[in-house]
Amino acid sequence: MPNEKVPKNATKFICDICNFKCCKESNYNSHLLTRKHKFLTNPNEIVPKNADKNHTCE
């Protein structure tokens, strides 16, 4: 159908597990690093709240 209209910013990146949709790859990559996504994709693994802020003093 040549007359069918397609939106300019069609959704290209979809995470069906989290019901997340976006059109920018950078937003999708950020979503993959979220606690919610990690928990839903692997519920047996414990995801710490502050994974990046674990520092030890000597």
- Residues spanned by the domain of 27: 13-45
2 found inside a domain = no
51 found inside a domain = no
pLDDT of the residue at 4 = 72
Could you give the number of structural domains in the chain?
1
Report residue 3 CA to chain centroid gap: 34
With residue 21 as reference, give the H or E element that holds it: strand 20-22
Task: Specify whether the CB–CB gap between 32 and 21 falls below 8 A.
Answer: no
pLDDT for 1-58, tens place per residue? Answer: 567 776 666 668 999 999 999 989 999 999 999 989 998 988 787 666 665 655 567 6
56 found inside a domain = no
pLDDT of the residue at 27 = 93
How large is the C-alpha radius of gyration of the chain? 17
Whole-angstrom Cα distance, residue 42 to residue 19? 16
32 found inside a domain = yes
pLDDT of the residue at 32 = 92
List residues bridging with 14 in a β-sheet. 21
23 found inside a domain = yes
pLDDT of the residue at 20 = 92
Structure tokens at 26: 């950078």
pLDDT of the residue at 43 = 78
5 found inside a domain = no
